[in-house]
Amino acid sequence: MHEFQCRKHCGACCIAPSIKHPFFGMPHGKPAGVMCSNLDKNSMQCTIWNTSHYPNVCKQFAPDIDICGKNRDQALEIISTLELDTIPSSSSKTKNK
């Protein structure tokens, strides 16, 4: 088993998912597909990592090949799909089977 390392200049997990609870810089939470205001647009790195403002929800997220994919586009796609699949009480969710 090898440990997956977060890719540089990705930031997909700070864009694709929604974060329901308010946190520093995002007083209304973060809608899916919206770049977190704490993400540096040039470096695609979190500007509040390792500070007291860093939210628990982000602390709990660990890079994983199944989520991060092989590149940024894959990560955005996978996380967006997971996002849709995990919306609570989404009765309009379409099923292919």
- Please report, as ranges, the residues that interact with ligand SF4 according to CB under 6 A: 6-7, 10-14, 36, 38-39, 46, 48, 55, 58, 63, 68, 75
Query: Could you give the 3-state DSSP secondary structure of residue 39?
Result: strand
**DSSP per position, 61-84:** ----HHHH-SSHHHHHHHHHHHHH
Closer Cβ to ligand SF4, 62 or 91, answer by number = 62
Closer Cβ to ligand SF4, 63 or 80, answer by number = 63
Provide the 10 A C-beta neighbour count for residue 29. Answer: 13
Shortest distance in whole angstroms from residue 96 CB to ligand SF4:
25
Closer Cβ to ligand SF4, 5 or 91, answer by number = 5
Helix (H) or strand (E) run with residue 59 in it: helix 56-59
